[in-house]
Amino acid sequence: MISYKDLGLVNSKEIFKKAFEGQYAIPAYNFNNLEQMQAIVKACVESSSPVIMQVSKGARNYANETLLRYMAQGAVEYAKELGKNIPIVLHLDHGDSFETAKSCIDSGFSSVMIDGSHLPYEENVALTKKVVEYAHKYDVTVEGELGVLAGIEDEISHEKSNYTRPEEVEDFVKKTGVDSLAISIGTSHGAFKFKPGEDIQLRFDILEEIEKKIPGFPIVLHGASSVVQEYVKIINDNGGELKDALGVPEEQLRKAAKSAVCKINIDSDGRLAMTAMVRKVLTENKGEFDPRKYLGKGRDELVKLIKHKNEHVLGSANRA
Ligand code: G3H
Ligand code: 13P
Ligand code: ZN
């Protein structure tokens, strides 16, 4: 059993409380490799932002669970070396079973998501409660989910979103003891969230209903990439084929961050930033074969993107 506290990580409790009171959101960036980890830490130190570094099941398979834990410990040390001991949470994204959540808690994660959103309500309650009971013994915070996002969630694909039902949230939070709740109000995972010409509008009315039922409770927004068009263009101009990729307008994320939404998940925008730079460098330098040359440029761009999000969208800059 490795405690996250010994690794220098924090759980999400205190930072969510501050985010709620200060009307901003904590960024949750996914990472799978060294360059993403470096970029997240550097950007969050430079913008003085608390951060949630999150790992999906796919990331655990890709990067190895043990290495990821050491990387998170490394992230804490790297932040200090860069000059600021920012709060860093190591979070399991879309945990799909009690066993996965337990294994993460036992290996140093400070926060886990148990995603039972695709299960019948009572089964979601039972699974989430079981994870909470285990996690809270070790002061690890838990995120649950009600409502299903459209798009792809870890290999499970949903055609249409199934909005969170405000009438369920109070009962769910009470019965499970979760520390935060992911909701579905029109976002989706990936780079194709909306169709061209569609009136893009998150369901703030549902969010308001939810806030009334559980006042002050931390809400989480998944699928919150903006699908930065500048990156889509660079990708397409350099041999890529991303047609009609569209995301959540920044203005709507700013509005969400001021509400009870305390955590905003961003993965796709980071992927796009990296891919855009890698494609550009390789197209412009056909003889290049040193990964540091193209991954380094991708990493630099990711730093820029994350600082922009923290400073101008989520409002988490200068809150560490
Ligand atoms: O929720 C999905 C995240 O973007 C993680 O994606 O499962 O491909 O690592 P992944
Ligand atoms: P995006 O695909 O919009 O970046 O969402 C990521 C996410 O919700 C991870 O859980
Ligand atoms: Zn998600």
Could you tell me the distance, in angstroms and rounded to a whole number, from the CA of residue 153 to the centre of ligand 1? 7
Please report the pLDDT score of residue 106 as a whole number.
97
Please report the pLDDT score of residue 144 as a whole number.
98
179-197 pLDDT per residue, tens: 999 999 999 999 999 999 9
Ligand 2 mutation target, pool 96, 265, 271, most atoms within 8 A of CB: 265
Residue 66 near residue 103 (C-beta atoms within 8 A): no
Of 183 and 69, more confident: 183
Burial 222-238 (b: 16+ CB within 10 A, else e): bbbbbbbeebbebbeeb
Lowest mean pLDDT among 160-169, 196-205, 251-260, 304-313: 160-169
Closest CA to 314 of 39, 37, 43: 43
The set of residues, in sequence order, having a beta carbon less than 8 Å from that of 62 and lying 6+ positions away, is 32, 33
Report the distance separating Cα 223 and Cα 158, nearest Å: 13
Report the distance separating Cα 276 and Cα 301, nearest Å: 9
Q: What is the CB < 6 Å shell around ligand 1?
A: 30, 56, 58-59, 93-94, 153-154, 189, 267
Q: Could you give the number of structural domains in the chain? A: 1
Q: What is the CATH number of the domain that holds 94?
A: 3.20.20.70
> Is residue 93 among the annotated active site residues?
yes
The set of residues, in sequence order, having a beta carbon less than 8 Å from that of 298 and lying 6+ positions away, is 35, 273, 274, 275, 277, 278
Q: Kindly tell me if the per-residue pLDDT of 158 is higher than 70.
A: no
* Residue 320 resides in a domain: no
* Residue 319 resides in a domain: no
Q: Confirm or reject: Cβ of 189 under 6 Å from ligand 2.
A: yes
Query: Which domain, by its residues, includes 48?
Result: 4-314
Report the distance separating Cα 190 and Cα 212, nearest Å: 30
Ligand 1 mutation target, pool 32, 53, 54, 56, most atoms within 8 A of CB: 56
- From residue 305, alpha-carbon distances to 190, 273, 309, 310 in Å are 17, 7, 6, 9
Burial 43-62 (b: 16+ CB within 10 A, else e): bbbbbbbbbbbbbbbebbee
DSSP structural state of residue 107: B
* HSE of 295, CA atoms in CB hemisphere, 13 A: 11
* Residue 281 resides in a domain: yes
What is the mean pLDDT of the segment spanning 69-73? 92
* Residue 255 resides in a domain: yes
* Residue 64 resides in a domain: yes
Atom of ligand 1 nearest to the CA of 57: 7
Q: Kindly tell me if the per-residue pLDDT of 8 is higher than 90.
A: yes
Q: Kindly tell me if the per-residue pLDDT of 153 is higher than 60.
A: no
Atom of ligand 2 nearest to the CA of 271: 4
Q: Confirm or reject: Cβ of 309 under 6 Å from ligand 2.
A: no
Please report the pLDDT score of residue 65 as a whole number.
87
111-136 pLDDT per residue, tens: 999 999 999 999 999 999 999 999 99
Could you tell me the distance, in angstroms and rounded to a whole number, from the CA of residue 203 to the centre of ligand 2? 17
* Residue 163 resides in a domain: yes
**Dihedral (Cα; 115, 109, 310, 223), 10-degree rounding:** -20
